[in-house]
């Protein structure tokens, strides 16, 4: 079975995950059977590296897949350099994000190195798709501190 290419549905699930954690940051990893694992940012509880993407990568062993390259990671905000490094080391084939680092850096502190820059330095080139439900993802920052 092919991965459902409706990015809107999966980004809505990532947004719901962020809302569940009372944070703007939610992520999920999807396999070809449309099974997924999800996580939200838990840095206030678990420390500075507990970003949504890092947390969901920790759940990767719960998914059934033949190759990590067939997996898709959805995230409400473009992965920061730390998270993008983890995603690359994990071998994820596609990354889909909502709001860009550049946009989010106007709201909170960010290391302004975009995911494409890191991917271009990698031994493989994952597909990167941005701006999926961007307005909804940026709205997660309203009232958040």
Active site residues per annotation: 53
Are 40 and 55 in contact, with CB atoms under 8 Å apart? yes
Task: Give me Rg for the CA atoms of the chain.
Answer: 14
Name the 3-class secondary structure at 77.
strand
Rounded CA-CA distance 29/60 in Å is 8
**Strands annotated E in the chain:** 26-30, 36-40, 72-77, 94-99, 127-129
């Amino acid at each position: 079975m092919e991965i459902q290419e409706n990015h809107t549905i999966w980004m809505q699930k990532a947004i719901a995950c962020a809302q569940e954690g009372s944070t703007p940051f939610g992520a999920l990893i999807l396999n070809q059977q449309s099974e997924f694992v999800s996580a939200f940012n838990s840095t206030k509880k678990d420390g500075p590296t507990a970003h949504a993407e890092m947390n969901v990568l920790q759940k990767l062993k719960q998914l059934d897949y033949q190759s990590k390259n067939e997996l898709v990671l959805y995230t409400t905000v473009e992965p920061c350099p730390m998270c993008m490094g983890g995603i690359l080391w994990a071998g994820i084939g596609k990354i889909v994000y909502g709001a860009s680092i550049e946009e989010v850096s106007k709201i909170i502190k960010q290391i302004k190195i975009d995911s494409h820059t890191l991917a271009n330095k990698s031994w493989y080139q994952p597909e990167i798709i941005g701006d999926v439900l961007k307005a909804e993802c940026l709205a997660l920052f309203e009232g958040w501190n």
